[in-house]
Amino acid sequence: MEKAVTFDPSGLGLPVEIGLIDKELGKLWESSDDTKTRASLINFVIHTGDPSSLKADTEIISTIAAKHACRAILIFSNPSAPAPAAQAWINAHCHQTGKGERQLCSEQITFRLDGESANALPNIVFSHLDTDLPLCLWWQGDLPEPLDETLWSWVDRLIYDSAKWSRPVHQLHLVRHLTVGSGKGTVLCDLNWTRLQPWRYALASLFDHSAAFPKLNQIDSINVELGNGSRISAMLLLGWFASQLNWTAANSGESQSLFRGRQGEGRPLDEFLSPDNRKISFAITESQNQERNAVLIRCGDSEFELSHAANAEFFEARIHIPETIDSRQILPFPRRNTTDTLLAELSRAGRHPLYTKSLEKILPLLRR
């Protein structure tokens, strides 16, 4: 039996007929005073299958509109609904500019697509875009299959969160197709990768000391300890190491062999190969302390460790190089919510070459 969907339209704006959206938007601006100016620099589309996220998504759009004037389209799609139906709402987000009374306003159009109406998603998007402006699509949850080539061919920047995927291995192959197989080269923006930026920066800083830097070419093993993190995040971090140090996968064993049990028993380590054919073992373990994530790097007798406790405002870093360095220090951990992470992505220009290189390093290790 189909589970009832709780849908709260409050906060979405004025309900309108889909065929009259442009006309009603025109009326909306005609009724506004001279201090408000409509502006749009990008098309920002959010697709969700979770009706409970609509309020939060609308708040995110409002915050983003203050920094990036846009035509925002929020789509709730429920293809499993028993009967086809389509509804729409319009709204405006206005923010003051400078010290005067002038306000820049961004439009938001929200759609609810039930049943077979969900198949009209590409037409809904195309017919309500601001012409000639870039299209940034934030797809919440797993990407659909089969991929609609018509829809994806329009997308300039695809935003997603690999930490929220139910089948991350399969989904990574899908997004790779969007950049390689489709021919367009859609820019991939993984919020999971963006959240790892403090980790990448802090790990790199462990090797800033003149005595530590040569150890980069002597790494023997890396262990990523998961507490409150996701396993795909750990894999992306390993891919970053491999891409930066030019490692290659030594084998392509089943993905389950990458993840050891709580005590690390019964699962072999996997390996990378360095350019000089040294073996670098790695493992992802589940921490007994569910409130802590950590990375331990061994280089012979030397150790480099970075850890972070849940909700802490800092990293704890430890460096041990026999007879040279034995230190502990605190490093800042900048905290970002989803809106901050999105703003960081939308403020970027160009591609994420390091992310795609890291993906190429770990995909051989992730057999379906």
- Give 64-81 pLDDT, tens digit per residue: 999 999 999 999 999 999
- Same domain? For 184 and 201 the reply is no
Query: Looking at per-residue confidence, does 103 or 71 come out higher?
Result: 71
Are residue 280 and residue 170 in the same domain, yes or no?
no
Alpha helix segments (H runs only) across 278-352:
338-346
More confident residue, 53 or 266: 53
Question: Has residue 285 got a pLDDT over 70?
Answer: yes
State the pLDDT at residue 42.
93
User: Bridge partners of 128?
Assistant: none
Q: What is the pLDDT of residue 268?
A: 40
Give 263's pLDDT tier (boundaries 50, 70, 90).
very low
Given pLDDT bands bounded at 50, 70 and 90, which one contains residue 181?
Answer: low
Q: Which domain CATH number covers 204?
A: 3.30.360
Shared-domain flag, residues 171 and 228 = no
Mean predicted confidence (pLDDT) in 150-157: 84
Q: Is the pLDDT of residue 258 over 80?
A: no
N-to-C CA span, the chain: 31
Q: Is residue 361 assigned to a domain?
A: no
State which of 193, 217, 243 marks the end of a domain: 193
Q: What pLDDT is attached to residue 90?
A: 95
Are 181 and 242 in a shared domain?
Answer: no
pLDDT at 77: 94
pLDDT value, residue 262:
39
Residue 336 to residue 59: CA distance in whole angstroms: 16
Task: Give the E-state strand segments of the chain in sequence order.
Answer: 14-16, 36-38, 42-48, 70-78, 85-96, 103-114, 135-139, 157-160, 187-190, 221-226, 248-249, 270-273, 279-286, 292-299, 302-309, 314-321, 325-332
Higher pLDDT, 261 or 325: 325
- Mean pLDDT within 169-179: 81
- Strand ranges of the sheet holding 302-309, from the earlier edge strand across to the other edge: 248-249, 270-273, 279-286, 221-226, 292-299, 302-309, 314-321, 325-332
Which contacts of 264-273 are long-range, i.e. CB under 8 A and separated by 24 or more positions?
269/221, 270/365, 272/241, 272/242, 272/247, 272/248, 273/247, 273/248, 273/249
The mean per-residue pLDDT over the stretch 30-44 comes to 85
For 151, residues 6+ apart whose C-beta sits below 8 A from its C-beta are 121, 122, 125
Q: What is the mean pLDDT of residues 126-148?
A: 88
pLDDT value at residue 260: 38
Say yes or no to pLDDT of 259 above 50: no
- pLDDT for 4: 59
Paired tokens of 323? 């007879």
Assess whether 175 and 258 both reside in one domain: no
**What own/partner pairs with CB < 8 Å and gap ≥ 24 does 311-320 have?**
315/198, 315/202, 317/202, 317/205, 317/206, 319/206, 319/209, 319/212
Q: Residue 87 domain-assigned?
A: yes
Do 263 and 151 lie in a common domain?
no
Are 253 and 301 members of one domain?
yes
Please determine, for residue 32, whether its predicted confidence score (pLDDT) is greater than 80. no
255 has a pLDDT exceeding 60: no
pLDDT per residue as tens digits for the range 291-344: 899 999 999 999 999 999 988 999 999 999 999 999 999 999 988 889 998 998
pLDDT of 287 above 90: no
Tell whether the model's pLDDT for residue 11 goes beyond 90: no
Q: Are 64 and 342 in contact (CB under 8 A)?
A: yes
pLDDT for 362 beyond 90: no
Residue-level pLDDT at 63: 94
Tell me, yes or no, whether 206 and 126 share the same domain: no
The answer as to whether 365 is a domain residue is no
Q: pLDDT digit string (tens) for 207-225? A: 999 999 999 999 999 999 9
Closest CA to 226 of 264, 183, 195: 264
* Residue 90 and residue 133 in one domain: yes
How far is residue 184 from each of residues 155, 160, 179, 273, measured CA to CA in Å? 9, 18, 7, 32
* Domain with 205 in it: 196-335
* pLDDT for the residue numbered 146: 77
Contact 93, 71 (CB under 8 A): no
Looking at the fold, whether 67 and 177 belong to one and the same domain comes out as: yes
Least confident of 5-9, 57-61, 206-210, 293-297: 5-9
Higher pLDDT: 4 or 62? It is 62
**What is the number of domains present in the chain?**
2
In a domain, 157, yes or no: yes
Burial state string for 140-151 with b = 16 or more CB within 10 A and e = fewer than 16: ebbbbeeeeeeb
Residues 230, 171 within the same domain: no
Residue 318's pLDDT is: 97
What predicted TM-score, i.e. pTM, was given to this entire model?
A: 0.88
pLDDT of 196: 93
pLDDT of residue 180: 63
From 178, 193, 208, the end of a domain falls on: 193
Residue 316: which residues within 8 A CB-CB, separation 6 or more?
306, 307, 308, 309, 328, 329, 330, 331
